A and B are shown apart, each in its own frame.
Chain A
Amino acid sequence: MTEVSTSRRTLLTASAATAAGLTLGACGSEDKSDTATERKPGEKITLMFWTWVPGIEKAVALWNKKNPDVQVKVEKVSPTNSAQYAKMHAALKAGNPPDLAQVEYQNIAEFLLDKGLLNLADHGAAEYRSKFVGWQWEQVVYDGGVYAIPQASGPMGMFYRHDLFRKWDIEPPATWDDYETAAKQIRKSGAYIGTFPASSGGWIASVAWQAGAQWFRTEGEKWIVGIDGEATRKVLTFWEGLVRGKLVKTIPVTQSAWYADIQSGDIVNWIGAQWGDALIKGNAPDTAGKWRAAPMPQWERGADASSNWGGSTTAVFTGAEHPKDAVDFAVWLNTDPESIDLLIKGGYGWPAAKQGFQGSSLDEASEFFDGQRYNEVFAASDKAVDTSWKWGPTTVPMFQHLTDELTEAMNGNASFTDAIGKVQKLVMDDMKEKGLKVEAA
């Protein structure tokens, strides 16, 4: 769910972050009603910022050096198992949220239900639209309002063990049919092409997104839910074939068992997002020089359909006393080249700023990836992401439903398409529980 951030470093800092979390509450305890005020010239303020991005403190320190009047204080929150959002929702309910927070694209609508996010268009955010990649900007726009400043994303691609593919004389699969053929060949050598991670809702959404699925949209007062649609069914039927044929494993990704398989060469391919590079490098350092990246396999040969997995924003919570300064900081953090450079070093993902990739340290040949300028794959992927995808307001429980129903199906009790039908029903129930009007697409 928070795959973007689940690097080793994040996990290491997670416990420290939780400990730090206990000490907060000192800031923001003043009455934070809707009395947003313009800062008087020369007045010194401190903005509280909840985030979990590794290394973001360095970028914030740079801002603090340049802006002595608007100091930003970072509080790390734990991204494990959506714990950070539980904390944010609780803080909003208790009336003492931070000024700024890291919120993933997929969770924005959920915070709107809490009335937790300020419409930044009221504070001059709309003028920054042209600084960001089109589809990423669209992810923060709901009903004409701008509810966050985009930070980073995870355009999808494919990592594969170049050395083993060559040894076994297998081409990196260009289509999903090729992928199945390659899976069979790789099985003969004793390894697996990959895993079907039922517990990675974000990944399942991204492979459906690539096939043209549209899970959510709004129509006036109503939400239209299309999880149980043709595209998603096609994708899941394909994966069900691989699972039932024992051509893929079914272990969760970015967890210890999967890392062990990546190290040992038991799994030799990963349909993953750009930020996965840091995970492979960090967790399987001995495989340096053996990996390469290629575009995601296609449903139609020669197409260039792509999608995204993960990605987040800097949002301003309602109750922030100085929203204009908060917006200025959020825009600077995510567009300033020096800041982006520091964030890339920390491994924050793919820049949402248009100028973020070119000339950055991402735009270089990598020894780990066999000397390939592998990020060119993801730059092309980022440009091809279907921009019409929207997230619903119950993403966290929706991912849990996906895990539950697909796992049950894998345990032999139902087909994947039955499972997705159930997920659709459960998600619609959740939304009705929230007092929303919902209709099936």
Chain B
Amino acid sequence: MAPARTPTRTRTRTRQRSRQRVTAPRNRAAAGFLLPFCLLFLACFIAPIGYALYQSMLKVERTGALGLGSETQVFAGLSNYTHALEDDRFVAGFGRVLLFGAVQVPVMILLATVLALLLESASARGVVFFRAAFFLPYGVPGVIASILWGFLYVPGISPLVDVLHGAGWEVDFLSDGTLLWSIANIVLWQFTGYNMLVLISQLKAVPGDLYEAARIDGANAWQVAWRIKLPLMRPALVLTTVFSIIGTLQLFSEPLVLRPLTGNVDTGYTPNLHAYDEAFKSNNYHGAAAEAVLLALVACVLSFGFLRLVGRSGKGDDR
């Protein structure tokens, strides 16, 4: 700010005037920049959610065995919701993805953290190559990755199964008990590199003087990682974990692609798959809408629950 040469009152008045002059166009400009986002957000997010809520409270009534008589949409209240919650397979799907998430998310985040720390350590070699190599699977679309791994899981085709068989170990990657972990492996393969990259970018933002200071204070590499890097990576760790939780709940393309290979991917294997089957196999759009809303609710509760949890313990750290 310029040094005050004019009398105080004048200066204040000028400032007020200039603020008035500036504010209106500035607000208009801000609104102009926000408008495209708001419109798209309304059209692509709020409107579909509203439509899904509306659809989830309707049902169809028909006359005639073949439905050739009349067909009317009537208000169904919450009956689609109770119907979904009474469906054992739909509910079991939630249990399955929660189990999946409880195991897969920590393993993946841990692995991503270790890789990020290794690549960002002072003694790392071939950093660019390894970073690209670890990140590469993320560039493969999920469906393609599932087809690829599918071939590695199918007995009679998979070299993996053959090798293990040769070693005297009979494994069926697609059996009732192993399938979930075979899917976890695909997701792990695909997303660890991505999460690693997010963590690395956070590490890159750490000012170099901190490391220098630590070294002067006599901290070894291990202590630098544990005392400086990890605490500073915290925001990125929270972010990747939340995204992973949401991604887990939305698990869909992997089981869908593996489905033709095994009967063990049932209709409620994941909640998303159940909603998809309800919409596109049973043509019950209303039931599918109710299931989608339920899934969104659970995702909300879990994500915000996790954020609150880390928020609280974060404050504890600040003390």
Chain A residues engaging chain B, CB cutoff 8 angstroms: 80-83, 86, 89, 93, 109-110, 112-115, 142-143, 145, 198-199, 218-223, 250-252, 255-257, 260-261, 264, 266, 393-394, 396-397, 400-401, 403-404, 406-408, 410-411, 430, 433-437
Contact = CB atoms under 8 A, between A and B. Distances in A.
12 contacts: A89-B280, A145-B68, A198-B263, A252-B263, A256-B156, A257-B157, A266-B156, A400-B281, A403-B266, A404-B89, A430-B282, A435-B67
The 3 closest A-B pairs by CB, nearest first: A260-B156, A407-B263, A86-B280
Contacts of A86: 279-281
Contact of A264 (B62, B63, B156, B256): B156
Given A257-B157, A261-B156, A433-B287, A115 B71 contact: yes
A252 B260 contact: yes
Given A252-B263, A256-B151, A434 B281 contact: no
A217 to B, nearest CB: 10
A199 B260 contact: yes
B317 interface: no
Contacts of A266: 156
Contacts of A114: 67, 283
B65 A218 contact: yes
Contacts of A142: 66
A65 to B, nearest CB: 37
Instruction: Name which of B68, B256, B281 has the most chain A CB atoms within 10 A of its CB.
Output: B281
Contacts of A256: 151, 154, 156-157, 261
Contact of A433 (B71, B256, B284): B284
Contacts of A252: 260-263
B176 interface: yes
B264 interface: yes
B66 A403 contact: no
Contacts of A110: 283
B41 to A, nearest CB: 24
A252 B155 CA distance: 12
B154 A257 contact: yes
B126 interface: no
Given A218-B66, A257-B155, A260-B156, A397 B266 contact: no
A221 B65 contact: yes
Contacts of A109: 66
A435 B62 contact: yes
Interface size band for B: 35 or more
B217 to A, nearest CB: 59
B289 to A, nearest CB: 13
Interface in B233-266: 256, 259-264, 266
A128 B274 CA distance: 42
Interface string B111-125: 000000000000000
Given A252-B261, A433-B284, A113 B67 contact: yes
B282 A433 contact: yes
B315 to A, nearest CB: 47
Given A113-B62, A435-B59, A199 B263 contact: yes
Chain B binding surface SS class: loop
Interface in B287-304: 287
A257 B156 contact: yes
B318 interface: no
A112 B287 contact: no
A257 B277 CA distance: 25
A199 B264 CA distance: 9
Given A256-B261, A403-B266, A434-B60, A115 B65 contact: no
Contact of B62 (A145, A199, A401, A436): A436
Contacts of A403: 263, 266
Interface string B53-66: 00000011111111
B267 interface: yes
Contacts of B71: 115, 435
Contacts of A261: 156
Nearest to B161: A257
Nearest to A220: B65
Contacts of B151: 256
Interface in B36-92: 59-68, 71, 83, 89
Given A255-B154, A257-B156, A434-B62, 5 more contacts: A112-B67, A407-B264, A433-B83, A433-B284, A435-B60
Nearest to B71: A115
Contact of A223 (B59, B65, B68, B283): B65
Contacts of A223: 65
A4 B89 CA distance: 30
Contacts of A430: 282, 284
Nearest to A264: B156
B281 A397 contact: yes
A406 B63 CA distance: 33
Contacts of A93: 285
Instruction: Name which of B67, B262, B263, B279 has the most chain A CB atoms within 10 A of its CB.
Output: B263
A107 to B, nearest CB: 11
Interface string B144-176: 000000010011110000000000000000001
A440 to B, nearest CB: 15
Contacts of A401: 267
A257 B261 CA distance: 8
A256 B155 CA distance: 9
B176 A411 contact: yes
A115 B281 contact: no
A436 B67 contact: yes
Contact of B277 (A220, A222, A400): A400
A396 B64 contact: no
A414 B154 CA distance: 26
Nearest to B150: A256
Nearest to A108: B66
Given A221-B65, A408-B266, A255 B260 contact: yes
Contact of A89 (B63, B67, B283): B283
B179 to A, nearest CB: 11
B282 A397 contact: yes
B61 A435 contact: yes
Contacts of A80: 260
B131 to A, nearest CB: 32
Contacts of A406: 263
A403 B284 CA distance: 20
Contact of B266 (A222, A394, A404): A404
A82 B71 CA distance: 25
B318 to A, nearest CB: 51
Contacts of B262: 199, 252
B181 to A, nearest CB: 16
